[in-house]
Structure 1
Amino acid sequence: MADKLKTIPIIPAQQANQVHAEITSCADAEPYALRVIGDSMAPEFLDGHIIIVDPAMPPINGAYVVIDYRGETTFRQFVVEEGRKFLKALNDAYPTVEMVENYSVRGVVVQRASRRRKDLKHYY
């Protein structure tokens, strides 16, 4: 199997402090797995799916992120429209929230998996 190169973005420290959770060691920058709980991100991410989160990836418009906002850690789509930033649930039963306070991105979802091979999907 051929190794794939991974691009590591270089961003100014001031911007990193505003957008990313603080990375203090190499281990903090390693991708990690989480299990999706609930239906707020259905139909793309179903209850029980496993997501791989890369804390070193910067959030871009449309990316799926794990983010700390207003004292909660949540999984949503990061949306930027006309300079305003939103957290959007894919399930219309959940509200879209405009981020007007400080937030910290814990990482960007780079892969989705479940028990079935057909559910494997890469996002970056």
Structure 2
Amino acid sequence: MSERPISQIPPIEGSCSAREVFALKALGDSMEPEFKHDTVLIIDPEAVVKSGAYVIGKVEGEFIFRQFMIHNDKFYLQPLNELYETIEISGLDMLEGVVVQAGNRRKDMKKYTYA
């Protein structure tokens, strides 16, 4: 049950916009069984966030991968692994983007849509 948070990611110099799709790796086991350690995540910072979506959030200066949930008009970042705690967040501004694809090989890539 080891989880290593995604440390602060330094900005990358270049021509990419901060709002373009980007990739990260899932670290740890907090999102198992759906996402194994080292799964490549494709994140869309412009995607519409809905309850149930897998997201990258920023909590206390650290990036965190969780499932976004709304319950009783409150916002939560919930792990899939019950050994980890659900975190209440103050608003959507704490979200960096929505996971739209995940996998480690092209043939294994899974797309995520949130109707």
Please tell me the TM-score bracket, short chain as reference. 0.7 to 0.9
- Select the residue among 42, 56, 70 that pairs with 1:80: 70
Deviations 1:41-80 (A, max 9, x none): 0000001110100011121100011111222210110000
Whether 1:114 and 2:111 are equivalent positions in the alignment is no
For residues 34 and 46 of structure 2, the distance between their equivalents in structure 1, rounded to whole angstroms, comes to: 23
Answer yes or no: is the 8 Å Cα contact 2:68–2:75 preserved in 1. yes
Q: For the aligned residues, what is the CA RMSD?
A: 2.1
The structure-2 alpha-carbon separation of the partners of 1:81 and 1:55, relative to structure 1 and needing over 3 Å to count, comes to: same
Comparing both structures, which one devotes a greater share of its residues to helix?
Answer: 1
Answer yes or no: is the 8 Å Cα contact 1:69–1:103 preserved in 2. no
Partner of 1:95: 85
- Structure-2-length-normalised TM-score: 0.77
Aligned residue-pair number = 99
Letter in 2 for 1:53: I
Partner of 2:9: none
Q: Which runs of 4+ in 1 moved over 6 A?
A: none
Shift of 1:103: 4.6
Unaligned runs of 5+ in 2: 1-14
State the identity as a percent. 41
Larger Rg: 1
Q: Secondary structure at the match of 1:61?
A: coil
Unaligned runs of 5+ in 1: 1-24
